[in-house]
A and B are shown apart, each in its own frame.
Chain A
Amino acid sequence: MKILITGATGYIGYKLAMEAASRNYTVHILVRDLESPLLPVHPNIVKFKGDITNKASVIAAMINCNKVMHAAAIAKLSAKNNNVFYSVNVEGTRNMLDAALALGVKKFVFTSSGAVIGPSGKYPMSENDPRIAAFENDYEISKHWAEELVKEYCRRGLFAIIVAAPRVYGPGHECNGNTMNILLKNILSMRLAFVPSCDNVVANYAFVDDVVNGHFLAMEKGLGGEKYILGGENLSYRSFFQTIKQNTGKKIRLIRIPKLLLKIWSFFYMSVCTILGKETHVSPKVVDRLSQNRALSCDKAIRQLGYSITPFSIGIQKTIFHLKNKNYA
């Protein structure tokens, strides 16, 4: 059985490709650089050079595949040229969907983001809840439009499933999509963590192995046109940092920083980066974002797919073990 996986040099895509290969799929991966050090290597993996923005290369890689996992995207909050969000995340997805429909792909799993759902109210948000705050950035809009496109192609007859991952942590590549590991690495090496003073703010943290497993469950059992949140535990910053602290086995100082100070610092940092022409994800808006509740409910995935959540304390132990082995602590 052949499957095409995009984004295979990224955090989630790499793991999807390796998992599919170990499940005896012949895995086609579409990559921009055949010599990339981030490529997944396995006898079942076949490399195709190309780019999702180039439709011919998409078709070449998709021929004879009856399943597709589309995990490639620009996964960051800002870019020097914001057009890339639309050309890659929206138009790239359109190319993928077009090719899949034309080539008669049986199942198409699209990796979306918890960012499309946005902040939560009194209870964790589920798939059908409306968005309660305005979209904030190009990334969110592009992923929202990509989801709308997937639904449109479902109406045209493609069997596609959307899965949405929130903040993902766990062993894996260090790249843009993997901000959680960068944070953990910094905590381990500096032995201190800056905790925002709004430490009762709740967000959802998904363990990467759960997310990968969820992709395969969605492909097996997911209903066409449906969306499934593949999340983890909802945690406040306080318990998030406390759990990390307990599991490092080292003395870590937690320093609380008032939100206002964070905002001022982020403003200056952003200004300096702008003047120097450096790309940065820090801005006062991001600080605001980090102080909103973003709790999610995975009940639908648990009920319909049999999805399961690794407890945060266990997931974080595995992550720290992985980082320590890579000599970050």
Chain B
Amino acid sequence: MRNKNFALITGASEGFGKALALECAARNINLVLVALPGSGLSSLCCYIERNFDVTTYCLEHDLSKKEECYDLFNEINRLQIPVNILINNAGIGGTHYFDERNAEFYCKQIELNVVSPTLLTHLFIQNLLQHSPAYILNVSSLASFFYLPKKQVYGGTKSYLVAFSRSLRRELKNKGISVSVICPGGMNTNPQMVFQNLNTHGLGRWSIMDPEEVSKIAINGMLKKKEVIIPGFWNKMFMLFDKLLPKCYKEMLTDRSMKESKTISNPVIFAINPLRTAI
């Protein structure tokens, strides 16, 4: 029998969101995919409809704007789509010192990484309750556990998602909604990240995973109602080291690697030579 319920995935046009969408489609879960306008979402939807036995809606919204979160909610209500899985994946990353970006950037990062998942969870909770067993999966990061330089705001927003998820999980436990949070480490999400990861050395390099692997672990963990999902052997090791090693030693190790780490701009859009920025 064809599955009637839908999974709503935000930030689905690229990277981990795209991998999550493909993973759900492979498990016959119908999809509502949301991404920024002009991000190539429609070609992904076409691909999924052609290759998998699922129904796919593709909705384009900028979720860093509150009113567009409401628009999304109203649109889904109007279409009467039964949502039983909500995956809050959309987010803005970045690796830079605090003064390297303007305040606007950080406000937008907080809007998208914190406000939007909170708002969407609040809006969709009735829809989810009506279609239980329901699941919420929030996409956090390993950076939420390590207070790394160059990851101040990003790490903070991701820590919020861990706290939010774990707390909400206890509230919704007996109401038929399971809340999980996944904390991936480095991933080959887009060409820039793969480029950056190919130029990473040492421990960091080993822990990098492909989004296809992580999305499998994420959906498995979500359906098994796990609380905090840490994908991959090395990422689990990092969590263990964090507990075992003394603070000064940890800081020495991470300081060194974070100094080299840098976000690379798309060389095409910004017309920057990737070699000059990366090396």
Q: How far is the CB of A129 from chain B (nearest CB, A)?
A: 5
A145 touches B43 (CB 8 A): no
In the complex, chain B residues whose CB is within 8 Å of the CB of A83: 275, 279
Q: How far is the CA of A98 from the CA of B155 in the complex (A)?
A: 40
Task: Using known A-B contacts A121-B51, A122-B51, A134-B210, determine if residue A87 contacts B268 with beta carbons closer than 8 Å.
Answer: no
Task: Using known A-B contacts A86-B275, A121-B51, A130-B43, determine if residue A135 contacts B267 with beta carbons closer than 8 Å.
Answer: no
A145 touches B267 (CB 8 A): yes
In the complex, chain A residues whose CB is within 8 Å of the CB of B198: 82, 137-138, 141
Q: B161 on the interface (CB 8 Å rule)? A: no
In the complex, chain B residues whose CB is within 8 Å of the CB of A133: 210, 212
A123 touches B188 (CB 8 A): no
Q: A132 on the interface (CB 8 Å rule)? A: yes
In the complex, chain B residues whose CB is within 8 Å of the CB of A136: 194
In the complex, chain B residues whose CB is within 8 Å of the CB of A134: 187-189, 194, 210-212
The residue among B195, B210, B266, B279 with the most chain A CB atoms within 10 A of its own CB is B195
In the complex, chain B residues whose CB is within 8 Å of the CB of A148: 266, 268
Q: What is the 8 Å Cβ interface bit string for chain B, positions 93-128, against chain A (1 contact, 0 not)?
A: 000000000000000000000000000000000000
Q: How far is the CB of A142 from chain B (nearest CB, A)?
A: 9
In the complex, chain A residues whose CB is within 8 Å of the CB of B38: none
Q: B225 on the interface (CB 8 Å rule)? A: no
Please provide the chain B residues from 247 to 279 with a CB less than 8 Å away from any CB of chain A in the complex.
Answer: 266-269, 273-275, 279
Q: How far is the CA of A134 from the CA of B49 in the complex (A)?
A: 21
A128 touches B46 (CB 8 A): yes
Q: How far is the CA of A179 from the CA of B44 in the complex (A)?
A: 32
Q: What is the 8 Å Cβ interface bit string for chain B, positions 182-224, against chain A (1 contact, 0 not)?
A: 0000011111001100110000000000111000000000000
B43 touches A90 (CB 8 A): no
**Total number of B residues with any Cβ neighbor in A under 8 Å:** 30
In the complex, chain B residues whose CB is within 8 Å of the CB of A167: none
Closest to B278 in A: A86
Q: How far is the CB of A217 from chain B (nearest CB, A)?
A: 25
Q: What is the 8 Å Cβ interface bit string for chain A, positions 12-32, against chain B (1 contact, 0 not)?
A: 000000000000000000000
Q: How far is the CB of A227 from chain B (nearest CB, A)?
A: 12
In the complex, chain A residues whose CB is within 8 Å of the CB of B273: 86, 91
A132 touches B275 (CB 8 A): no
**Total number of A residues with any Cβ neighbor in B under 8 Å:** 25
Q: How far is the CB of A119 from chain B (nearest CB, A)?
A: 10
Q: How far is the CB of B18 from chain A (nearest CB, A)?
A: 7
A121 touches B267 (CB 8 A): no
The residue among A91, A128, A130, A133 with the most chain B CB atoms within 10 A of its own CB is A130
Task: Using known A-B contacts A134-B211, A138-B195, A145-B267, determine if residue A87 contacts B275 with beta carbons closer than 8 Å.
Answer: yes
The residue among A83, A123, A141, A149 with the most chain B CB atoms within 10 A of its own CB is A141
Q: What is the 8 Å Cβ interface bit string for chain B, positions 16-54, against chain A (1 contact, 0 not)?
A: 001000100000000000000000100110110011100
Q: What is the 8 Å Cβ interface bit string for chain B, positions 47-77, against chain A (1 contact, 0 not)?
A: 1001110000000000000000000000000
Task: Using known A-B contacts A83-B275, A86-B274, determine if residue A129 contacts B191 with beta carbons closer than 8 Å.
Answer: no
Q: A152 on the interface (CB 8 Å rule)? A: yes
Q: How far is the CA of A244 from the CA of B102 in the complex (A)?
A: 61
Q: How far is the CA of A87 from the CA of B279 in the complex (A)?
A: 13
Q: A144 on the interface (CB 8 Å rule)? A: yes
Q: How far is the CB of A194 from chain B (nearest CB, A)?
A: 27
Q: How far is the CB of A74 from chain B (nearest CB, A)?
A: 14
Q: How far is the CA of A148 from the CA of B271 in the complex (A)?
A: 11
Q: How far is the CB of B30 from chain A (nearest CB, A)?
A: 17
Q: How far is the CA of A145 from the CA of B273 in the complex (A)?
A: 11
Q: How far is the CA of A138 from the CA of B199 in the complex (A)?
A: 10
In the complex, chain B residues whose CB is within 8 Å of the CB of A121: 47, 51
In the complex, chain A residues whose CB is within 8 Å of the CB of B191: 135, 141, 144-145
In the complex, chain A residues whose CB is within 8 Å of the CB of B46: 128-129
In the complex, chain B residues whose CB is within 8 Å of the CB of A145: 191, 267-268, 274
Q: How far is the CA of A130 from the CA of B211 in the complex (A)?
A: 15
A90 touches B267 (CB 8 A): yes
Task: Using known A-B contacts A90-B274, A133-B212, A141-B194, determine if residue A149 contacts B268 with beta carbons closer than 8 Å.
Answer: yes
Please provide the chain A residues from 104 to 160 with a CB less than 8 Å away from any CB of chain B in the complex.
Answer: 121-123, 128-130, 132-138, 141, 144-145, 148-149, 152
Q: What is the 8 Å Cβ interface bit string for chain B, positions 162-200, against chain A (1 contact, 0 not)?
A: 000000000000000000000000011111001100110
A135 touches B50 (CB 8 A): no
Partner of A135, one of B44, B188, B274, B275: B188
Q: List 19 A-B contacts (CB under 8 A).
A: A86-B273, A87-B275, A91-B275, A122-B51, A122-B52, A123-B51, A132-B18, A133-B210, A134-B188, A134-B211, A135-B194, A136-B194, A137-B198, A141-B194, A141-B195, A141-B198, A144-B191, A148-B268, A152-B268
Which 6 pairs across A and B sit closest by C-beta, in order of nearness? A134-B188, A148-B268, A121-B51, A134-B210, A122-B51, A135-B194
Apart from A129-B47, A135-B194, A148-B266: 13 A-B pairs, beta carbons within 8 A: A86-B275, A90-B267, A121-B47, A121-B51, A130-B43, A133-B212, A134-B211, A134-B212, A135-B188, A138-B195, A138-B198, A145-B191, A148-B268
